[in-house]
Amino acid sequence: MGETLNGTTGLDIDNEIRLLQEKLKELRAEEASEQAITLALKDFGLQRAIVYGWPNTYVFTKAMGEMLIGDLKENLPVVIIRPTIISSTYKEPFPGWVEGIRTIDSIAVGYGKGKLTFFLCDIDAIVDVIPADMVVNAILAAMAAHANQPGEVIYQVGSSMRNPLRYSNLHDYGFRFFTKKPWINKDGTPVKVGKVKVMGSMASFHRYMTVRYLLFLKGLEVVNTAFCQYFKGTYVDLSRKIKFVMRLVELYKPYLFFKGVFDDMNTEKLQMAVRENTTEADIFYFDPKCINWDDYLMNVHLPGVVKYVFK
């Protein structure tokens, strides 16, 4: 069907659908609950993604989508936009607008509410962020540039190459913002935040989880058995939460320790074309070099997250 990340041959979307249907049929034959089916299919999708070199089903299905477009486009002009982590708006329709909890926003919410005390990442790694309105402007510019021009062009829309932001920057901005403007909880009490403990490797994370939670969970299991399942509810709840955290970490691990940057040469050329061919270049802005991260995060993004996302 298309080129895989690890060079493994034999990727066929019809076959992937067939395998998925067979797995679903097998689970239903076992009379598995809907919750068990959902979890099993997530695991199955992850296994299939890893076979071909993708870290999870999210990027695996995106890749297959692009393969389908390549096969079916015929003579239609095709533009593929690949934005990185999309953050709140830079300017339009107004600065700081965001809808729903995005990737980095969930971190801000957890930290600002005092619930996030440690974080796992390479603190010096680049976190590739681009405001939502810049993505929209890049899409509009690309549509205009390639209308009625057969071919396929891919635009990487991000900031990692031309204006990199690092996890260490996010760490600092979050602490400064919520120290200066703490979130007020439902009781009317300001939530005090501290410096987040950053674990820079999976090994340190596993050590932390073992010492802090897994040993206690094992002890609780023994006590629960000795007391005839008296603590079963507590044990099951804690076990579920730990498994959820471990699953999330495995899911996001490829991004938390990602070392690369994205080549946005095509996007840079598109920006140059917009500047040369239109008098409205200032309206269709999508140059990441114009972002002052200190001003954007402290005065636009984090206030926007607090206003539109915090509950």
Active-site residue, 23 included = no
pLDDT-derived band at 249, boundaries 50, 70, 90 = confident
Q: Tens of pLDDT along 74-88?
A: 888 899 999 999 999
State whether 174 and 250 are in the same domain: yes
State whether 249 and 147 are in the same domain: yes
State whether 298 and 192 are in the same domain: yes
**Helix and strand tally (H, E) in the chain?**
12, 6
State whether 93 and 183 are in the same domain: yes
State whether 42 and 141 are in the same domain: no
Number of domains the chain is built from: 2
pLDDT-derived band at 60, boundaries 50, 70, 90 = very high
Tell me what pLDDT residue 1 has. 65
Let me know: does 84 contact 130? Beta carbons within 8 Å. Answer: yes
Q: How many residues are listed for the chain in this entry?
A: 311
For residue 132, count other CB atoms closer than 10 A to its CB.
18
Mean pLDDT taken over the chain: 90
Q: Tens of pLDDT along 94-145?
A: 999 998 777 778 888 888 998 888 888 899 999 999 999 999 999 999 998 8
State which of 24, 46, 72 marks the end of a domain. 72
- Residue scoring higher pLDDT (311 or 193): 193
Between CA 78 and CA 147 the distance in angstroms is 9
CA dihedral for 69, 75, 76, 81, sign (positive or negative): positive
Assessment of whether the complete model's pTM goes beyond 0.75: yes
pLDDT-derived band at 36, boundaries 50, 70, 90 = very high
State which of 34, 51, 72 marks the end of a domain. 72
What proportions of the chain, in percent to the nearest 5, are helix, strand and coil? 55, 10, 35
State whether 61 and 147 are in the same domain: no
Active-site residue, 58 included = yes
Between CA 299 and CA 296 the distance in angstroms is 6
State whether 168 and 62 are in the same domain: no
Cross-strand partners of 118: 197
State which of 28, 47, 72 marks the end of a domain. 72
Give the residue-averaged pLDDT of 272-279. Answer: 81
Domain ranges, residue 166: 73-308
Tell me what pLDDT residue 195 has. 87
Tell me what pLDDT residue 234 has. 86
State whether 77 and 65 are in the same domain: no
Let me know: does 245 contact 51? Beta carbons within 8 Å. Answer: no
State whether 66 and 126 are in the same domain: no
State whether 248 and 158 are in the same domain: yes
Q: Which residue is catalytic, options 23, 42, 58, 296?
A: 58
Q: Which residue is catalytic, options 25, 62, 192, 241?
A: 62
Cross-strand partners of 125: none
Helix or strand holding residue 177 (H, E): helix 167-180
Let me know: does 104 contact 170? Beta carbons within 8 Å. Answer: yes
Tell me what pLDDT residue 259 has. 87
- pLDDT beyond 80 at 298: yes
